[in-house]
Amino acid sequence: MMLEVKDLNVGYGDVQVLWDVSLEVGEGEVVALVGSNGAGKTTLLYTISGLLHPMSGTIKFMGKEIAGMPSEHIVDLGITQVPQGRRLFAGMTVKENIMMGAYLRKDRGQVKRDFQFVLDLFPRMAERLNQPAGSLSGGEQQMCAVARGLMSAPKLLMIDELSLGLAPIIVENIYEVVSQVIMRGTTVLIVEQDVLLALEQADRAYVLDVGHIRMSGPAKELMDNPTIKEAYMGM
């Protein structure tokens, strides 16, 4: 397995948020982590990314223990997170924001090729390279955030709430791009509040509810699960 999370317990100070969370992501897979707002999805990503240290449990990436490792070392190993809310530098240009994703890389020639690749994926970004990122629409900012994430040349790309606050047509366009990234060989962990959308994209999925993994399995099976349909899809 590329990523193995086992018996992870995480909190903020004395307030525990995750209890004994375990999940796996295999190389080349698209795995969805779904659940309602406040379930602990972002907390789990922060912990995998090294922004939070777990109380207990293990996180292995490519067989290497990374729990508690500095976040820049985790990025260097090949894990990149596209954060909820985009977190762009509003006063910097689109190009500067995208290139921030490559700040740890030393393979300048490949960086240039990857930059052209993301511009081919997101033609709107090519048209707006010299604009301040803060002047972009919400959908364009999300494109910029994904492009920045791709510039780190990730082995595992973690996307947090890609669809949040965006029009359905924009979400569809961005997920089409993500599918191209997947075909290029990048492994993807999608975190989504929109359960149906996430399950449509994924090979396998985990359902996180109030800090606990309640269900897991092939995405198609979970999509047909009556409990999932009632609790998360309003069916």
Domain boundaries, the chain: 1-78+154-235, 87-153
CATH number given to 1-78+154-235: 3.40.50.300
- Per the listing, tokens 């590329």 go with 2
Residue range 29-53: mean pLDDT, rounded: 94
**pLDDT tens across 149-198, in order?**
999 999 999 999 888 778 888 888 888 888 888 888 889 999 988 888 88
Position 235 scores a pLDDT of 56
Per DSSP, the three-state class of 82 is strand
| Mean pLDDT lowest among 90-94, 163-167, 197-201 | 163-167
Percent of the chain with pLDDT over 90: 69
From the centroid of its chain, how far is CA 159? 2
Q: What angle do CA 121, 149, 177 make, to 5 degrees?
A: 30
Distance CA 216, CA 61 (A): 20
Residue range 124-132: mean pLDDT, rounded: 95
Sign of CA dihedral 113, 117, 122, 127: positive
